[in-house]
Amino acid sequence: MTIPERTLIVIPAFNESASIASVVAEVRDAVPGATILVVDDGSADATTEVARRAGARVARLPYNLGVGGAMRVGFRYAVDHDFRQVVQVDADGQHDPRHVPALLDGLVGADIVIGARFAGAGSYRATGPRRWAMRLLSAVLSRAAGTRLDDTTSGFKACGPKAIALFADQMPAEYLGDTVEALVIALRHACRVVQLPVEMRQRMAGQPSHGPVKSAVYLGRALIALFFAYARPVVAVRSGGNSA
Amino acid sequence: MTLATYILGILAALATLGVVIELLRRRRLRERHAIWWLGAGTLALVIGVFPQVLAWAASLIGITAPTNLVFFVSIAILVLVSIQHSSELTELEEKTRTLAERVAILELDTRRESPQDRD
């Protein structure tokens, strides 16, 4: 396995005081030696305090930026402190940290390894417009990546040095920006993206977003996100700082 | 047109220009934002003083009622300024986002460097 000392586990957390302590503990058990960074995305609850007590480093955003903003903090921190691998794990407990070593192993031949739900393991099923949206995103991005990517909106991802430098500079804060558009940016910067089948768990806290109207809106937003991700110019990475 | 409406048009244009210039003078408005309002105010003043310019411009592009040209140009300027503001808002959001991210990292780094606060 790749040296865990240079591995940063980034956990973006927004009002997750109910589940963050057990997620941090699980990650430490699964990947001993890795550094755990919880990015508190402007929570109103005790997420920061609970995560600190659980032994994680905590970067606290002064207000809510969304997953893209929280993750750019993680990638920027990784660049500043010389981490070679970054793994994103959700704070709600749906990502099983026991898959992290396998994701890290995948980085030997790739810049980004996605923990994917639909690729065999687990029993997640989406229906209606949400399913069409996911199929379309999967088809377009698989083609661009030259390999099958079944779960393009998965937040469970491992990134190597090239992707870390890229995302520390360019990580969109918009809706679907941290998943779909981030993948498009990575692929357009010639990053190699592969997937690894993983089983997702039920969330420990919080509700999944479903319903026919919501999933139709999701389809529309996914199409817009995908269109603009490709319509935007490719920007060279500034190693000195974030673009703004 | 009565004398009263003639004077009203000129006064409205002068008032607009006066407010914009005063804000510029007090540095409450940056030149790059003021340029639209200066342009619009000057145009309104010219048309207020010489209404025949409006009638001439309208007939030039084939608009029967000259006031329609006023509405068209006014709305066009307002729409363009709104779009510019949305764009500047986006730019500002991106800048505050970057600052917020940097603050989060700085706070964590200083916290870890001060021994009494070490987690």
Instruction: Give the DSSP H or E segment for B101.
Output: helix B66-113
Please give the residue of chain B at the shortest CA–CA distance from A170. B98
Q: Which of B95, B104, B112 sits opposite A61 (nearest CB)?
A: B104
For residue B4, tell me if it sits in a domain.
yes
Are B84 and B112 contained in the same domain? yes
For residue B78, tell me if it sits in a domain.
yes
Are B72 and B119 contained in the same domain? yes
For residue B55, tell me if it sits in a domain.
no
Residue pair A79/A160 in contact (Cβ under 8 Å)? The answer is no
CATH architecture of A4-231: Alpha-Beta Complex (3.90)
- Domain of B37, in residue numbers: 1-49
**pLDDT at position A204, please?**
56
For residue B76, tell me if it sits in a domain.
yes
Residue A133 has pLDDT above 90, yes or no: no
Using an 8 Å CB-CB cutoff, list chain B residues near A55.
119
Residue to substitute from A14, A76, A238, interface B, most B β-carbons within 10 A: A76
Summarised one tens digit per residue, pLDDT across range B27-59 is 999 888 899 999 999 999 999 999 999 999 999
Predicted TM-score (pTM) of the model is 0.87
Give residue ranges of A with CB < 8 Å to any B CB: 39, 52, 55, 57-63, 65, 69, 72-73, 76-77, 80, 173, 241-244
| Ranges under pLDDT 70 in chain B | 115-119
Residue A126 has pLDDT above 70, yes or no: no
For residue B54, tell me if it sits in a domain.
no
Residue A139 has pLDDT above 60, yes or no: yes
Are B118 and B74 contained in the same domain? yes
Number of domains in chain B: 2
For residue B34, tell me if it sits in a domain.
yes
Residue A206 has pLDDT above 80, yes or no: no
Are B27 and B75 contained in the same domain? no
Summarised one tens digit per residue, pLDDT across range A67-115 is 999 999 999 999 999 999 999 999 999 999 999 999 999 999 999 999 9
ipTM: 0.87
Are B27 and B1 contained in the same domain? yes
Please give the residue of chain B at the shortest CA–CA distance from A52. B119
Q: Which of B94, B108, B109 sits opposite A244 (nearest CB)?
A: B94
Are B74 and B44 contained in the same domain? no
For residue B59, tell me if it sits in a domain.
no
For residue B57, tell me if it sits in a domain.
no
For chain A, give the mean pLDDT: 90
pLDDT band of A120, cuts 50, 70, 90: low
Cβ-defined contact of A55 to B100 (cutoff 8 Å): no
